[in-house]
């Protein structure tokens, strides 16, 4: 249960923060966000805000999404012959359209649809009570709503509030905002982690931090804040010098020179043996020295995020030089990592969330159709050409990217299942 809750929180926060980036900048650009959903699947609650966005809470607590006018495949198809009902204003303009069988509008007029244009002319024509002798054409209000078959009520999407009507720079920023939010979240999470753990590890010194009780280091007489001068007769100047010698000496006696209490002394430590993924390594139970300054804690958010960028780009480069599904991970991998993090405490969970957040941001910026990066590339092509691509061609490119991602996700997920459960 702890693993499931951790997975839901981690995955949910990452996706919602990502989608909120798109939501916020779409609003600033004048693009109508028809729906902002927390969760997926069947709707539990819905509320239409004064801003025209319907906020929904859905059954499956994994992620969320935004529906921007003119950008997503519309769930509501008003085809000729569709039975519906309309609610009118005092001046006979349509203010609500109901195509759902789950909801009844008491003061509405039942129609069999002949045609509707809710994008340009904002008109709707239908036969009253299905009587083909009584066709009526109504003007539709700009901010009218439609109740979809699922029962969710959303605004209609006139041309002027659609995604493509925004300026090219605004569209690029809206597409970039999701990954940008993930990067900002990563910085914030590392800052929080620095405060929770009481400081920032300083790897550029030979001074150590805390020593675990009953550890090999404690039994050898090493105390917190001691300086490690030499190990295996090699001079130590930073954390990497120290740990590299210890890691390769499991179960072996390691001579050291330390300085503590203003005095130098020689000791011998025997690292305990730790096995991970079939590899044995040594540990002596010490932590890196912590910098506790306020500026250090805030700077940690930026430096660690930068380090993550470097590591991820190196990993992406490795995919091109030697592709393997084992280098990728999907929801199963995330669940496995959540399980391990949940068992190790809040700091590990925060670290995992930061790692996944920056990954989500970078991967979404890859120039693959259906990803934010692919959409930005199409925006840039439009800016250079001075006109957008043909909608049919753009749709085909996006669909090809979507199919590629779905096939890859299926392969990655199956590979993860094989790795972790068989």
What single DSSP character describes residue 207?
Answer: B
Can you tell me the distance from the alpha carbon of 175 to that of 22, in angstroms, rounded to the nearest whole number? Answer: 6
User: What is the pairing mode between strands 200-202 and 54-68?
Assistant: unpaired
Can you tell me the distance from the alpha carbon of 83 to that of 160, in angstroms, rounded to the nearest whole number? Answer: 28
- Give the SS3 label for residue 237: coil
pTM: 0.79
Superfamily of domain 201-291: PDZ domain (2.30.42.10)
The answer to whether residues 56 and 163 touch, using CB atoms and an 8 Å cutoff, is: no
- Encoding tokens for residue 162? 């659609």
CA pseudo-torsion sign 226, 232, 238, 239:
negative
Contacts of 212 (CB under 8 A, 6+ apart): 218, 285, 286, 287
Q: 340 an active-site residue? A: no
Task: Give the chain's radius of gyration (CA, Å).
Answer: 29
List the one residue out of 259, 163, 251, 158 whose CA is nearest residue 206: 259
Burial class (CB in 10 A: 0-12, 13-18, 19+), 111: buried
Domain boundaries, the chain: 83-161, 201-291, 296-421
In DSSP notation, 375-405 reads HHHHHHHHHHHTSPPPHHHHHHHHHHHHHHH
List the one residue out of 159, 147, 165 whose CA is nearest residue 48: 147
Backbone angles phi and psi of 129, in degrees to 5:
55, 25
The answer to whether residues 288 and 202 touch, using CB atoms and an 8 Å cutoff, is: yes
User: What is the pairing mode between strands 234-235 and 227-231?
Assistant: antiparallel
Confidence (pLDDT) at 7: 77
- Encoding tokens for residue 356? 């996944």
Confidence (pLDDT) at 99: 92
Confidence (pLDDT) at 337: 66
Tens digit of pLDDT at every position of the chain (422 positions)? 677 787 788 888 898 999 999 999 999 999 999 999 998 888 899 899 988 899 999 988 777 889 999 876 555 668 899 999 999 999 999 999 999 988 889 889 999 999 999 999 999 999 998 788 888 999 999 999 999 988 889 999 999 999 999 999 999 999 999 999 999 999 999 999 999 988 998 989 999 999 999 999 999 999 999 999 999 888 999 999 888 889 988 889 999 999 998 899 999 999 999 887 678 889 999 999 999 899 999 999 999 999 888 888 877 776 666 666 666 665 666 666 666 666 777 888 888 889 889 988 998 898 888 789 999 999 999 899 888 777 777 777 777 776 776 776 677 666 666 666 66
- Burial of 214-243, coded b for 16+ CB within 10 Å and e otherwise, reads ebbbbebebeeebebbbbeeeebeebeebb
List the one residue out of 44, 111, 119 whose CA is nearest residue 74: 119
CA distances from 86 to 96, 108, 312 (A): 6, 5, 53
């Amino acid at each position: 249960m702890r693993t499931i809750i951790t997975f839901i929180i981690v995955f949910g926060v990452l996706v919602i923060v990502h989608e909120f980036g798109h939501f916020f900048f779409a609003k600033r650009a004048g693009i109508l966000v028809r729906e902002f959903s927390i969760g997926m699947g069947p709707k539990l609650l819905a509320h239409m805000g004064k801003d025209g966005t319907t906020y929904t809470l859905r059954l499956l607590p994994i992620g969320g999404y935004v529906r921007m006018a003119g950008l997503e495949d519309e769930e509501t198809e008003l085809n000729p012959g569709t039975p519906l009902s309309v609610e009118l204003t005092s001046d006979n303009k349509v203010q609500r359209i109901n195509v759902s069988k789950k909801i009844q509008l008491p003061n509405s007029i039942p129609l069999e649809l002949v045609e509707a244009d809710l994008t340009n002319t904002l008109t709707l024509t239908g036969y009253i009570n299905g009587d083909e002798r009584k066709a009526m054409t109504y003007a539709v209000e700009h901010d009218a709503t439609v109740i979809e078959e699922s029962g969710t009520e959303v605004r209609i999407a006139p041309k002027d509030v659609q995604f493509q009507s925004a300026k090219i720079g605004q569209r690029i920023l809206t597409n970039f905002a999701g990954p940008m939010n993930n990067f900002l979240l990563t910085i914030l999470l590392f800052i929080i982690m620095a405060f929770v753990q009481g400081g920032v590890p300083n790897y550029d010194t030979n001074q150590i931090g805390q020593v675990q009780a009953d550890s090999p280091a404690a039994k050898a007489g090493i105390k917190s804040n001691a300086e490690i001068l030499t190990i295996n007769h090699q001079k130590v100047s930073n954390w990497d010098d120290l740990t590299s010698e210890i890691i390769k000496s499991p179960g072996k006696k390691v001579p050291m020179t330390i300085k503590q209490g203003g005095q130098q002394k020689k000791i011998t430590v025997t690292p305990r043996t730790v096995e991970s993924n079939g590899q044995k390594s040594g540990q002596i139970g010490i932590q890196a020295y912590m910098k506790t300054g306020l500026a250090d804690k805030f700077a940690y958010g930026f430096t660690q995020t930068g380090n993550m960028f470097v590591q991820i780009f190196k990993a992406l480069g490795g995919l091109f030089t030697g592709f393997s599904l084992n280098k990728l991970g999907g929801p199963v991998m995330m669940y496995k990592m959540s399980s391990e993090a949940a068992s190790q405490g809040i700091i590990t969970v925060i670290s995992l969330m930061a790692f996944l957040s920056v990954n989500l941001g970078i991967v979404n910026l890859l120039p693959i159709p259906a990803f934010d990066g692919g959409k930005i590339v199409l925006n840039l092509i439009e800016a250079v050409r001075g006109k957008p691509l043909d909608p049919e061609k753009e749709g085909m490119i996006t669909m090809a990217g979507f199919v590629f991602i779905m096939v890859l996700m299926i392969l990655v997920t199956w590979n993860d299942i094989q790795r972790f459960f068989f």
